[in-house]
Amino acid sequence: MESIAYSQNGAHVTITLNKPPANSYELSFLTALGNIIETINQDPTCKIVLINSDSEKFFCAGADIKVFGNNTVEQNKEMVVAARRVCHLINTSSKIFIAAFRGHILGGGLELAMACDIRLAAEGQYLIGLPEIKLGLIPGNGGTVRLINLIGASRAMELLVTGNTITATTAHQYGLINHLYPTATFEEEVNKYCSTLALGAGEAMASIKKFVLQSQGMSTAEALNLETALVNPLYETPDGIEGFQAFIEKRTPNFK
């Protein structure tokens, strides 16, 4: 689809949303995005996936309200299932997903970003929030769970029950955003961040992602057992061997 583009530079893949004016989604958009992510997840050369927007004003405003309003309940449920599929594909991927935004990010758009592993943002007065309560709904694509995990129950409760928005500065203070960059250097900083991360050990990063997601709620003993199960196979991987060799030779490792 022209409204979703993706390109690859080595181990770094970029998915760009381009559906003016607000990258609001409907079923065909979500299906195409899910299919693209599914294809990328099967690519062994990819380590890092960046999701950004071609628009300076919007990252994604979530579901297209006009479409949502004209749909039947069953059609809307089908759209929600497609949105959940996208978030699930991101969440369970062995790739590290990064969301980069510099404009309004609301509802399902914020849920998409929260499904990613890392969020990078530009400074600015754009709006960030989950306003579903104002439609008599609650987030349905993992937004409640992920918001609580990222910023804590008390702050999440307030944002969810009021539907109010926050600024990028506040989101950064809350821990919703990992890094906040000046607008003028935003694209440069994002590219630098992704390029650096793409040089890392892919299998080890995938294991870290699996541990972070699966260890939540585990006892210390269970988490330690999971850590052991994940680290043991890495010693004999090409990256594991290269990492040790590079350390001994006092050089930068060349991970594949």
DSSP 184: G
Residue type, position 140, single letter: G
Residue from 203, 210, 206 nearest 226 by CA: 210
Residue type, position 100, single letter: A
DSSP 251: S
Calpha distance 174→102 (Å, rounded)? 17
Catalytic residue among 56, 78, 132, 188: 132
Judge whether 187 counts as a catalytic residue: no
141: helix, strand or coil: coil
Calpha distance 159→162 (Å, rounded)? 5
Judge whether 236 counts as a catalytic residue: no
Calpha distance 211→92 (Å, rounded)? 11
Catalytic residue among 38, 56, 74, 111: 111
Residues marked as catalytic: 111, 132
